[in-house]
Amino acid sequence: MPGPNSVPVPNAVVERADIPRARRIVVKVGSSSVSGDNASQIGPLVDALVRAYRRGTEVVLVSSGAIATGFPFLGLEGRPEDLATQQAAAATGQAVLVFRYQKELDRHGVTAAQVLLTAGDLQNPTHRVNARRAMNRLLELRVLPIVNENDTVATHEIRFGDNDRLAALVARQVEADALVLLSDVEALYTKPPEQPGATRIDEVPFGDELAGVTFGSIGAAGVGTGGAGTKVAAARLAAEAGTAVLVTATSLVERALGGEHVGTWFRAAPRA
């Protein structure tokens, strides 16, 4: 948050239409969008990211999906309940997931870098500085960082909780102009969209508490851990630091990064 003597300055991204001109963006994609039958969405996602990259925008991808990707390789039919098996699935799936991203990036001649973090890394000043320095250098070298939680060492007590929060913290760390949170739903609604009377939320002014809004889950059951509520909390966290946030569907990522009027837009506080 700005200090008592700070002076607000114009944000680089104020409206959706400003996204194509962003200096730096963070894009987060959920497990259900890039695993299982939806693994085929990785290709179009990468294509959209590379279009932004070719415009000169520095891109950081926060990708869930390691645990879900590891399921079939361990003979599992669903998300395991015990931590050790979750960690085994994550260790297996993370390698496959990054391979799939790099395979698609190879078509464009772009190199990916894997960055695995725990909540403790961003709470420890030394680790936090090191992580920020490494990601900044990767971006300077025109490498695309792919960030995920380090599930093999994280425990329930030291987890981020979900990758929406991780994405917001990464956006703050790298001072991103915009954060794009992707899921299976094209926007947020005043109540779960399948319920009668649900209306789409087009824009959220900075500081709006969204009184009277009821959030349900987003994503395939048993795959992802986030929901609409976690996206709102993450959006507020990023917006407080001056990063505007767009919540929309993975299938709309190209339109989102192209500045079209899609999803739910969270306005950000002025930067100090």
- Amino acid identity of residue 126, one-letter, is T
Q: Where are the beta strands (DSSP E) in the chain?
A: 24-29, 58-63, 112-117, 144-149, 178-183, 188-189, 200-201, 203-204, 244-249, 264-266
pTM: 0.91
The whole-number pLDDT of residue 229 equals: 86
In the chain, DSSP finds a helix count (H) and a strand count (E) of 9, 10
Which residues fall in the annotated binding site?
28, 64, 151, 163, 183-184
pLDDT tens-digit profile of 125-155? 999 999 999 999 999 999 999 999 998 876 6
CA distance 170 to 187: 22
Distance of alpha carbon 60 from alpha carbon 144, whole angstroms: 6
Is the pLDDT at 185 greater than 80? The verdict is yes
Q: How many CB atoms lie within 10 A of CB 182?
A: 29
Which residues, including other chains, have CB under 8 Å from residue 79's CB and lie 6 or more apart?
67, 68, 71, 86, 222, 223
pLDDT band of 8, cuts 50, 70, 90: low
Residue 156 has what pLDDT? 60
**Residue 210 scores a pLDDT above 90:** no
Taking residues 110-135, report their average pLDDT: 93
Q: What is the mean pLDDT of residues 237-248?
A: 96
pLDDT for res 142: 97
Residues placed in the known binding site for ATP = 28, 183-184
Which of 19-33, 157-171, 195-209 tops mean pLDDT?
Answer: 19-33
pLDDT on residue 219: 45
What is the CATH class of 16-266? alpha beta
Q: What is the pLDDT of residues 168-178, one digit of tens each?
A: 999 999 999 99
Q: Which residue did the predictor score with more confidence, 46 or 196?
A: 46
* Binding-site sequence positions for substrate: 64, 151, 163
Output the pLDDT for position 27: 98
Domain ranges in the chain are: 16-266
Residue 221 has pLDDT above 70, yes or no: no
* Pairwise CA distance, residues 268 & 206, whole Å: 6
Average pLDDT value for residue range 263-270: 96
What's the pLDDT score for residue 220?
Answer: 44
